[in-house]
Amino acid sequence: MFGVRFRFSLLSLLLLPSSLLSAQTSPPAQTAVTQADVKSLQDAIHSAQMNADNAWMLVSAALVLLMTGPGLALFYGGLVRRKNILGTMMQSFAMMGLVTILWAIVGYSLAFAHGTSFIGGFEHVFLRGVSLAPNTDYAATIPEQTYMVYQLMFAIITPALITGAFAERMKFSAMAVFLSLWSLIVYSPMAHMVWGVGGLLNANGGRIPSLDFAGGTVVHVTSGISALVTAIYLGKRIGYPQTNMPPHSMVLSFIGACLLWVGWFGFNAGSALGSGPLATSAFVNTHFAAATAALGWTIAEWIHNGKPTALGAISGAVAGLVAITPASGFVQPFPALLIGLAAGVFCSFMVFKVKSWFGYDDSLDAFGVHGAGGTLGALLTGFFATRLINPAFGPGAATGAVDGHWGQILNQVAGVAIAWALSAAGTLVLLFLVDKTIGLRVSAEDESTGLDLSQHGEEGYDLNS
Amino acid sequence: MLKIEAIIQPSKLDAVKDALLEVGIEGMTILEARGHGRQKGHTEFYRGREYTVDLLPKVKIEMVVLDEMKEKAVNAIGSAARTGRIGDGKIFVSRVEEAIRIRNDERGETAL
């Protein structure tokens, strides 16, 4: 086949008119550059940029799934008792399936179609019109299907984060219904308000322009607040806090947390929606904040308990990643270090002290890390955001307080307040409905047997086989 | 015939096994065990919460020996397993009525 084609092209070369040959070898005349040439050059450049951006965005989408896929499942799985590991991992995995299906049917449309300032419409139901051409409302250099699947990965991890608050005591069926509905009632509207075209909090033209680069409010505040509400609604695990409930495998949690750290590069740097310098900025900030947050939590714990624990170090890193999420594409690297440090200290305080003061059983600290860290990060974004990194409000316009735009902090407060209110209200309504129909909590007997056997009929560890 | 049961620190298992082989004791059974004596466990910290772990991992070694081997075996175990700190473990010695080799139904001391 190759030989035939080669001989054919050799033949056509010999048959070329001599005039054309001489035109190719001598320098082209000025007049030879036509409108068509410019157009084809522009097309080639555009196509090259699209391919470069698309490559990074597809990798980013895969990295964000990695955060739920093995990352969160292992992180949470290691933190529960051994009789609940499969039940816990299945909760994250179920989101990978259920939210995907809902996203295709209506979730993406409710988040990103044209609609009101609170929620998207039905324009993209069943992915109608979501093609391989870019949607210039969001990302002009990647296929809209890439944007859609990238955003889907965020929609998957957000409800999965909540599962940490009700670990070891919710029915699988109730969890599946509650979190599926949650992704439509809470996640899609919040994503629309912050990122959707015409959204209330959209930095680009919203009535209250708030800055949220990669989901500090959309992902972490919503999941964290819903986690707190769920933990309180559901009540404590039997025996909490008198009985010891230590993590059954710190090794699994350690691997999970490190996968989260790596996956977060897709989460934050991918939120640049392209492979340009803004992605680099978000990448560097993400990494920096994780490092100082691990340090901050570890030092706080060392002082508090006398020892620097592995669980403290990895929890701190996650807290820093949460806090830098809204800021990652708006701040300079040194403020990122500060945001991380603040998150490490603040979240450890929430987990060590505030949780026991109030006595709620946020089993794996979804509120203490995501709710607290997300809120802190969203507020600090208003302080540290600078036009030098991202002129989000137009060329030359001040973005955050460091640029002199102190009012941005108020916009951030409004964004956080709306996220708190929507999450708390939506979660309460859904919990009530599911509780009255399916029933939320496993029986006391099933709880002591463990979710693995009672909900799934299998065991994570069969040491006799 | 005597049964010697020794509960020791897991880290001392190899040293004790070698010491027993050296004094001529050939058969033993090792069990992984959990327990505590006066040592009463230790504390662990997970996200700022203090947990008391009172059942600690131990290794239990069991063997049945001829009466005259008692002192040799006990000394071998004691000197190999001793660190001098609390939690080193204990040795119990008790009388055994009968021993049977399953393979050929040998009875008594020859079955050891």
The string of pLDDT tens digits covering residues B33-58 is 988 877 677 888 888 888 888 888 89
A362 touches chain B (CB under 8 A): no
β-pairing verdict for B56-65 and B42-46: unpaired
Structure tokens at A214: 């990669």
Is there a cis peptide before residue A241, judged by omega within 30 degrees of 0? yes
pLDDT band at B86 (very low <50, low <70, confident <90, very high): confident
Domain count, chain A: 1
Q: In the 8-state DSSP scheme, what is residue B107? A: B
A316 touches chain B (CB under 8 A): no
The structure tokens 């830098």 sit at: A324
Cβ count near B7 (within 10 Å): 18
Decide: A133 and A142 in contact? Cβ < 8 Å. Answer: no
Picking from A56-65, A185-194, A374-383, B38-47, which range would have the lowest pLDDT averaged per residue?
B38-47
Q: How many CB pairs under 8 A join A and B?
A: 30
Highest mean pLDDT among A4-8, A396-400, B41-45: A396-400
Does the distance separating the beta carbons of B44 and A246 come in below 8 Å? yes
Q: Which domain does A372 fall in, by range?
A: 58-456
pLDDT band at B93 (very low <50, low <70, confident <90, very high): very high
Chain B nearest CA to A247, separation (Å): 8
Q: What is the sign, positive or negative, of the torsion defined by CA atoms of A78, A80, A82, A88?
A: negative
Picking from A14-28, A247-261, B10-24, which range would have the lowest pLDDT averaged per residue?
A14-28
B22 touches chain A (CB under 8 A): no
Determine the Cα angle at A405 with ends A403 and A409, to 5°. 115
Structure tokens at B47: 């996200």
Does the distance separating the beta carbons of B45 and A244 come in below 8 Å? no
Structure tokens at A287: 């990494």
Q: What is the sign, positive or negative, of the torsion defined by CA atoms of A51, A53, A57, A60?
A: positive
The string of pLDDT tens digits covering residues A409-427 is 999 999 999 999 999 999 9
Nearest to B92 by CA among B56, B58, B55, B63: B63
Residues of B in contact with A301 (CB under 8 A): 45, 48
Question: Is residue A63 in a domain?
Answer: yes
Decide: A305 and A82 in contact? Cβ < 8 Å. Answer: no
- Residue A120 makes CB contacts below 8 A (sequence gap 6+) with A109, A110, A111, A112, A113, A114, A188, A192, A196
Chain A nearest CA to B53, separation (Å): 8
Structure tokens at A166: 């009700």
Beta bridge partners of B30: B61
Picking from A75, A311, A356 by the largest number of B CB atoms within 10 A of its own CB, the best residue to mutate is: A311
Q: What is the pLDDT of residue A25?
A: 53
- Residue B71 makes CB contacts below 8 A (sequence gap 6+) with none
Residues of B in contact with A312 (CB under 8 A): 47
Q: Which domain does B39 fall in, by range?
A: 2-111
Residues of A in contact with B54 (CB under 8 A): none
CATH code, domain with B52: 3.30.70.120
- Residue B42 makes CB contacts below 8 A (sequence gap 6+) with B52, B53, B56
Q: What is the pLDDT of residue A6?
A: 45
B43 touches chain A (CB under 8 A): no
Residues of B in contact with A365 (CB under 8 A): 47
Q: What is the pLDDT of residue B47?
A: 86
DSSP character string of B77-112: HHHHH--SSTT-EEEEEEE----B-TTT--BGGGG-
Question: Is residue A395 in a domain?
Answer: yes
Does the distance separating the beta carbons of B48 and A304 come in below 8 Å? yes
CATH code, domain with A219: 1.10.3430.10
C-alpha neighbours within 13 Å on the C-beta side of residue A238 = 12
Does the distance separating the beta carbons of A246 and B51 come in below 8 Å? yes
Decide: A349 and A140 in contact? Cβ < 8 Å. Answer: no
Question: Is residue A8 in a domain?
Answer: no
A5 touches chain B (CB under 8 A): no
Per-residue CA distances from A52 to A141, A142, A275 (Å): 9, 9, 7
Mean confidence (pLDDT) of chain A: 92
Cβ count near A59 (within 10 Å): 15
Determine the Cα angle at A290 with ends A285 and A295, to 5°. 130
Cβ count near A28 (within 10 Å): 10
Chain A nearest CA to B24, separation (Å): 33
Does the distance separating the beta carbons of A307 and B48 come in below 8 Å? no
B49 touches chain A (CB under 8 A): yes
Picking from A80, A305, A345 by the largest number of B CB atoms within 10 A of its own CB, the best residue to mutate is: A305
Nearest to A238 by CA among A453, A444, A446, A451: A444
A246 touches chain B (CB under 8 A): yes
Decide: A299 and A346 in contact? Cβ < 8 Å. Answer: no
Decide: A390 and A240 in contact? Cβ < 8 Å. Answer: no
Residues of B in contact with A351 (CB under 8 A): 47-48
Whether the predicted pLDDT of A439 surpasses 70: yes
Determine the Cα angle at B111 with ends B105 and B112, to 5°. 150
Decide: A85 and A456 in contact? Cβ < 8 Å. Answer: no
C-alpha neighbours within 13 Å on the C-beta side of residue A370 = 30
The string of pLDDT tens digits covering residues A130-164 is 999 999 999 999 999 999 999 999 999 999 999 99
pTM recorded for the entire structure: 0.85
pLDDT band at A464 (very low <50, low <70, confident <90, very high): low
Question: Is residue A19 in a domain?
Answer: no
Picking from A222-226, A256-260, B12-16, which range would have the lowest pLDDT averaged per residue?
B12-16
Structure tokens at A248: 């059954």
SS (H, E, C) A80-122: CCHHHHHHHHHHHHHHHHHHHHHHHHHHHHHHHCCECCCCECC
Question: Is residue A21 in a domain?
Answer: no
Chain B nearest CA to A437, separation (Å): 35
β-pairing verdict for B89-95 and B49-53: unpaired
Q: A441 — alpha (psi -120 to 50), left (phi > 0) or beta?
A: beta
Residues of B in contact with A246 (CB under 8 A): 44, 46, 51, 53
Nearest to A325 by CA among A268, A400, A278, A274: A268
Whether the predicted pLDDT of A287 surpasses 60: yes
Q: In the 8-state DSSP scheme, what is residue A310? A: H
Domain count, chain B: 1
